[in-house]
Amino acid sequence: MAEVRVPKLGMSMTDGEIVEWSVADGDHVEAGQIIYSLATDKVDSDIECPASGVIKIIGDVGVNYEVGAIIAEISEDEKK
């Protein structure tokens, strides 16, 4: 299982707000696919998926999370 964490996008960044999920809970996602938008005090960024599989969304839109916080998990696709 892969963890989706809030990335550190700048030297002074301590947290970020999930603006929008581009995928739904339970969707199959591919590594490199844009899965959510993150707002910081300086910029909004589209964040790519770190692995392929089925996503379980933990983080809520409109909530600030500290850098490194787990906001989703990606499990291996069981359709093999």
Q: Within 10 Å of residue 25's Cβ, how many Cβ atoms?
A: 11
Instruction: Check if the beta carbon of residue 2 is closer than 8 Å to that of residue 70.
Output: no
Q: Within 10 Å of residue 43's Cβ, how many Cβ atoms?
A: 11
Q: Which residue has the higher pLDDT, 79 or 21?
A: 21
Q: What is the mean pLDDT of the chain?
A: 93
Task: Over range 44-68, report the average pLDDT.
Answer: 97
Confidence check: pLDDT of 4 > 50 = yes
Q: How far apart are CA 80 and CA 67, in angstroms?
A: 34
* C-alpha closest to that of 58 among 26, 15, 33, 32: 26
Its pTM stands at 0.89
**Domains in the chain and their CATH numbers?**
2-75 (2.40.50.100)
